[in-house]
């Protein structure tokens, strides 16, 4: 029977600390592959915590792929790649920071439709119009000469700083403003990625997946290969059989199945990228903020040590599709290349909305 010292949990909740403790024991080999874990009631009694605490911890570990359950038999440790031990110092073993919860917004229809299944809509009635209008007035009333100037292609420094702070607290992503690129929608950012990496490369995409991604790559002259997915996400063996240098994945919330890629498959994908210097993973974290249970899954970017993950996300689901504000986090070596290659361009998002969104994030309204 394993145990954990809750006196060291600091500001973490009992559930979060238990999750990180079990993950650590799995990674360092204290808990062996396929080893059966104590039942929820047995472990809760042993640790002196509630059954619901253990149940939530087990559920989160299952969703991340560290453990699995067999009906009427119990919970067992997943067999992970040996190389995962090298990640013990990075974000997969670091503690989650305590965050304010963001609840799933239900959509209501004027036509009294029972449920709206459109994937690109939001609950408009929940949008904080009064707060947003107040911030917009504040931006307009503040003397700001930069408001009337064209901004660098990467976006206003204020918004990039706000995004960095948000990513650190909410996703545990370490990034600096120089790595952030703000764009008018992800379509624009994907085009920049092709210009940056080259359209002579083969770009792999998920099948099934978001069809527009392949269309954008092909529109920019790149060749695409459709890789099948299985119950754990993109099939790595199928990926290895083609000569792709770039792969686009949605590991935290696959579209349209909703699959969350488990940690073992994530490591296999990262190992694939590390085999060659010119390989890159485009991690699309779209709609990853909302989950029915547990906290948002840590992105692949947190586990990448070779700077070969390009992280892309959008404010379309958390705020509104009409904002047309997305962003990407480039590896440092690519951010330098991006700045030198596109320094003659201006940002594709107007300054006014960028300053307003920066304040919206800084004042904790976004959280």
pLDDT tens, residue order, the chain (367 aa): 788 888 888 888 999 999 999 998 998 889 999 999 999 999 999 999 999 999 999 999 998 889 999 998 999 999 887 766 555 434 444 443 333 333 333 444 455 667 777 766 777 777 889 999 999 999 988 867 778 888 889 999 999 999 999 999 888 899 999 999 999 989 999 999 999 999 999 999 999 999 999 999 999 999 999 999 999 999 999 999 999 999 999 999 898 898 899 999 999 999 999 999 899 999 999 887 777 776 777 898 888 877 899 999 999 888 888 888 999 999 999 999 998 898 888 898 999 999 999 999 999 999 8
The structure tokens 């809509």 sit at 121
Reply yes or no on domain 129-362 having CATH 3.20.20.20. no
User: 178: closest CA among 367, 351, 329?
Assistant: 329
**pTM, whole model, 2 decimals?**
0.76
Tokens matching residue 250: 């949605």
Count CB atoms within 10 A of the CB of residue 28.
11
**Could you give the CA distance from residue 101 to residue 12 in angstroms, rounded to a whole number?**
14
The ranges of the chain annotated as CATH 3.40.640.10 are 129-362
Reply yes or no on domain 6-79 having CATH 1.20.200.10. no
Task: For strands 74-77 and 223-230, give the pairing.
Answer: unpaired
Tokens matching residue 312: 């892309």
Name residues whose C-beta falls within 8 Å of residue 249's C-beta, 6 or more positions apart in sequence: 206, 233, 234, 261, 269, 281, 282, 283, 284, 300
The ranges of the chain annotated as CATH 1.10.10.10 are 6-79
Max CA pair span of the chain: 66
């Amino acid at each position: 029977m394993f145990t954990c010292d809750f006196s060291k949990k600091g500001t973490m909740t009992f559930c979060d600390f238990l999750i990180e403790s079990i993950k650590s024991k799995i990674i360092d080999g204290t808990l062996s592959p396929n080893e059966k874990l104590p039942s929820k009631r047995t472990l809760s009694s042993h640790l002196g915590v509630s059954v619901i605490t253990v149940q939530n911890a087990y559920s989160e570990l299952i969703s991340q792929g560290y453990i699995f359950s067999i009906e009427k038999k119990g919970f067992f440790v997943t067999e992970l790649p040996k190389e995962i031990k090298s990640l013990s110092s990075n974000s997969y073993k670091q503690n989650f920071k305590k965050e304010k919860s963001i609840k799933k917004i239900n959509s209501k229809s004027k036509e009294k439709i029972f449920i709206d299944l459109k994937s690109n809509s939001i609950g408009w009635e929940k949008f904080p119009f009064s707060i947003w209008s107040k911030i917009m007035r504040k931006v307009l009333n503040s003397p700001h000469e930069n408001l009337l100037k064209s901004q660098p292609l990467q976006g206003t420094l204020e918004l990039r700083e706000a995004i960095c702070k948000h990513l650190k607290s909410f996703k545990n992503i370490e990034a600096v403003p120089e790595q952030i690129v703000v764009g008018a929608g992800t379509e624009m950012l994907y085009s920049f990625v092709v210009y940056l990496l080259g359209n002579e490369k083969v770009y792999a995409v998920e099948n099934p997946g978001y069809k527009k991604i392949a269309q954008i790559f092909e529109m920019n002259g790149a060749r695409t290969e459709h890789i099948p997915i299985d119950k754990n996400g993109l099939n790595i063996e199928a990926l290895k059989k083609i000569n792709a240098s770039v792969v686009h994945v949605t590991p935290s919330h696959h579209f349209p199945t909703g699959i969350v890629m488990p940690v073992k498959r994530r490591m296999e994908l990262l190992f694939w990228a590390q085999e060659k210097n010119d390989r890159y993973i485009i991690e699309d974290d779209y709609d990853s903020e909302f989950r029915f249970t547990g906290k948002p899954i840590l992105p692949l970017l947190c586990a990448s040590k070779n700077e070969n993950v390009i992280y892309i996300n959008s404010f379309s689901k958390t705020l509104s599709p009409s904002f047309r504000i997305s962003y990407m986090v480039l590896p440092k070596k690519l951010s330098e290349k991006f700045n030198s290659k596109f320094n003659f361009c201006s940002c594709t998002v107007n300054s006014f909305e960028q300053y307003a969104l920066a304040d919206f994030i800084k004042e904790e309204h976004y959280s």
